[in-house]
Structure 1
Amino acid sequence: MTENQAWKMNGFLALLLLLVLIAVSIFFFVQGMFFYGSVAIFIMIILSSGMLIVQPNQAKVITFFGRYMGSIRESGIWLTIPFSNNKKVSLRVRNFNSARLKVNDVEGNPIEIAAVIVFKVVDSARALFDVDNYEQFVEIQSETALRHVATKYPYDNFEETGYSLRGNTEEIASELGSELQTRLEGAGVEVIEARLTHLAYATEIASAMLQRQQASAILAARKKIVEGAVGMAQMAIEKLQKEGIVELDDERKVTMINNLMVAIVSEKPAQPVINAGSLY
C-alpha cells in the first residue's frame, strides 16, 4: 500500500455550487415542477456528503466502499468523492518515551535502559492499512529495537576497546535510530531521532559494579602517575648530567630515581630529610 493523491475540488466552489442548487430547487418548487426540484435537492445531498475539512499537518484517507481512493494532505475545505469515508491521520512530529527496560548487556550484566523516540507519519496509507495500530506498533518496535541494541554492547568498556553503552552514546543512538527506521519502514513512519534517556546498572549489582568502576579508575590514575614519574626522573637525571651540575654513578642514580619515584607516586606529601654530612 502506497499513499497517492485523492480526487478533490475546491470546497468554496463546491459551497457556491450547493447554494446554486438550493436556489434552483426553490425555483422549481415555486413553479410547481416538483420532480426537477427533487432532483436538484438529491444532487445537492450527494455533493454535500463529499465535503470535508483538513487541518494543517493532517491527512484524510479516503475510502469508497472498502477501496482506498487516495489521501488529501492540503489543509482547507474540499469536495471529494461523495458517500466516501475519510479517516484522519496526524502528520505532526511526536515523541514516545519508552518504559525503563531491564535487559542483560553483552557480558550478561543486568542493566536498566530507556529511550525517547521522535517520529512522524510520512505515508498515511501505510500507517492506516499496513498495520493495525501504528502508534502501538511504534511503541512495541521501539522497545524491541532498544532491547536488541542493548544486548550487543557492554554497559562499560573497562579495556577501552570497542563501543560501550555508557561511553559511546552518540554511536549507540545512531544505531538505535537506524534499526528502528528499518522496523518502522512498513508502517509509513520516519524516525527523526532516537536517544537514550536512562542507563544504569540494575539494583542488585549496582553496588558491586560501582566498586569495580572505582577500582578501574584508581588503576588508570596510578598508571598515568607512574608514567609521569618515570619521565620526570629521566628528565631530572639527563638535565643534571647535561649541565654538569653533579656527577652521578649508577648507585647514586638508582638512589635518586628511588627518591623521586617515592615523592611523586606516594599518596601523601613526601617528608624532606636533610643530609648534614658525617662528623668524621
Structure 2
Amino acid sequence: MNEYPAWKMNGFVAVLLFIGLAAGAVYSFVGMRFILGSIFTLLALVIAGGIMMVQPNQSKVITFFGRYMGCVQDAGFWFVIPFHLRKTVSLKVRNFNSKTLKVNDVDGNPIEIAAVVVFKVVDAAKAVFDVDNYETFVEIQSETALRHVATKYPYDTFHSEEYSLRGNGAEVARELALELQERLSVAGVEVLEARLTHLAYATEIASAMLQRQQASAILAARQIIVDGAVGMAQMAVAQLEKDGIIELDEERKLNMINNLMVTIISDRSAQPVINTGSLY
C-alpha cells in the first residue's frame, strides 16, 4: 500500500446541496408526493454520508466497500465518496519511552538500558493496512532494535579506538535510529531521533564492575604517568649532556634516572635529602 490523495470536493457545497434536497423532501411530503419526497430524502442521506472534517496534522484513510480509495490530508471541511469508511491517523510528532531492558553487552556483562524514540507517520496507508497496529509495532520494534544494538558494544572501554555504549553515546544513538528506520519503514513511520535515556550495569554486578572500572582507570593512568616519566628523564639527561653542565658516567646516569622516575611516579611529594658534606 502507498498513500495517494483521494477524490474530494468542498464540503460547504455538499451542505448546500443537502439543505436543498432536505427542503425538497419536506415540500414533496407536504404536497402528498411521497415518491418524490422519498427520493429527495434518500439523496440527502447519501450526501450527508460523504461529509467529513479533517483537523490539522491528520490524515483520513478512505475505503469504499473494502477498496482503498486514498487519503485526505488537507485540513478543512470536505465531501468524499458516500457510504465510505474512514480511519483517522495522526501525523503529529510523538515520543516513545522504552521500558528499562536488561541485556548482555558484547562482553557478556548484564546491563540496564532504555531509550526514547521520536517518530511520526509519513504514510498513513502503510500505517493502517500494512501492520495490525502501528503504535504497538513501533513499541515492539524499538525494544528489539535497542536490544540488538546494545549487544554489539561493551558497556565501557579504556581503549580510545574502540566504541562503547557509555563513551560513544552519539554514535550508538545514530546507529539505533538507522536500524529503527529500516524496521519501521514498512509501517510508514519516520524516525526523527533516538537517544539513550538510561544506561547502567545490572544491580547484581554493579559493585564488582565499579571496582573493575576503578582498577582499569588506575592502570591506564599509571601507564600514562610512566610514559611521561621516561620521556622527562631522557630529556633531562640529554639536556645536561648537551649543555655541558656536568659529565655523567653510566652509574650516575642510572642513579639520576632512578631518582627522577621515583619523584615523578610516586603518589606522594618527594622529600629531598641534601648532602652537606662529610665531617671528616
| Same fold, judged at TM 0.5 (above) | yes
1:166 aligns with 2:166: yes
What is the SS of the residue equivalent to 2:205? helix
The Cα shift of 1:261 comes to 1.0
Separation in structure 2 between the aligned mates of residue 194 and residue 259 of structure 1, nearest angstrom: 54
Separation in structure 2 between the aligned mates of residue 162 and residue 218 of structure 1, nearest angstrom: 19
1:229 equivalent in structure 2: 229
Q: Which amino acid aligns with 2:156?
A: D
Q: Which amino acid aligns with 2:6?
A: A
Q: Which amino acid aligns with 2:70?
A: G
User: 2:158·2:216 contact (CA, 8 Å) conserved in 1?
Assistant: yes
CA deviations over 1:155-183 (Å, ceiling 9, x no partner):
11244443221121111111111111111
Shift in alpha-carbon separation, 1:228–1:158, aligned structure 2, 3 A: closer
Percentage of pairs with the same residue: 69
The Cα shift of 1:235 comes to 1.9
Q: Which amino acid aligns with 2:235?
A: M
Matches within 5 A, 1:108-127: 108-127=108-127
1:254 equivalent in structure 2: 254
User: 2:230·2:261 contact (CA, 8 Å) conserved in 1?
Assistant: yes
2:57 equivalent in structure 1: 57
Separation in structure 2 between the aligned mates of residue 88 and residue 155 of structure 1, nearest angstrom: 42
2:196 equivalent in structure 1: 196
1:72 equivalent in structure 2: 72
Q: Which amino acid aligns with 2:179?
A: E
What is the SS of the residue equivalent to 1:204? coil
User: 2:10·2:78 contact (CA, 8 Å) conserved in 1?
Assistant: yes
Q: Which amino acid aligns with 1:168?
A: N
Separation in structure 2 between the aligned mates of residue 161 and residue 201 of structure 1, nearest angstrom: 22
1:138 aligns with 2:170: no
Q: Which amino acid aligns with 2:82?
A: P
Q: How many residues align?
A: 280
Q: Which amino acid aligns with 1:127?
A: A
1:85 aligns with 2:85: yes
1:179 equivalent in structure 2: 179
Separation in structure 1 between the aligned mates of residue 16 and residue 236 of structure 2, nearest angstrom: 97
1:48 aligns with 2:10: no
Separation in structure 2 between the aligned mates of residue 33 and residue 100 of structure 1, nearest angstrom: 71
Q: Which amino acid aligns with 1:187?
A: A
2:212 equivalent in structure 1: 212
The Cα shift of 1:24 comes to 3.5
2:104 equivalent in structure 1: 104
Matches within 5 A, 1:19-38: 19-29=19-29, 33-38=33-38
1:13 equivalent in structure 2: 13
Separation in structure 1 between the aligned mates of residue 277 and residue 238 of structure 2, nearest angstrom: 25
1:242 equivalent in structure 2: 242
The Cα shift of 1:36 comes to 2.9
1:266 aligns with 2:261: no
What is the SS of the residue equivalent to 1:182? helix
| Root mean square deviation of aligned Cα | 1.6
The Cα shift of 1:218 comes to 0.6
Separation in structure 2 between the aligned mates of residue 23 and residue 65 of structure 1, nearest angstrom: 30
Query: What is the TM-score when the length of structure 2 is the normalising length?
Result: 0.94
The Cα shift of 1:231 comes to 1.8
Separation in structure 2 between the aligned mates of residue 159 and residue 239 of structure 1, nearest angstrom: 33
Separation in structure 2 between the aligned mates of residue 247 and residue 226 of structure 1, nearest angstrom: 26
Separation in structure 2 between the aligned mates of residue 158 and residue 167 of structure 1, nearest angstrom: 9
Query: What is the TM-score when the length of structure 1 is the normalising length?
Result: 0.94
The Cα shift of 1:38 comes to 3.1
Separation in structure 2 between the aligned mates of residue 259 and residue 162 of structure 1, nearest angstrom: 36
Separation in structure 2 between the aligned mates of residue 224 and residue 8 of structure 1, nearest angstrom: 72
Q: Which runs of 5+ in 1 are unaligned?
A: none
The Cα shift of 1:33 comes to 4.1
Separation in structure 1 between the aligned mates of residue 132 and residue 226 of structure 2, nearest angstrom: 63
CA deviations over 1:90-121 (Å, ceiling 9, x no partner):
11111101101111111111111111111111
CA deviations over 1:44-77 (Å, ceiling 9, x no partner):
1110111111111011111112221111111111
Separation in structure 2 between the aligned mates of residue 258 and residue 90 of structure 1, nearest angstrom: 73
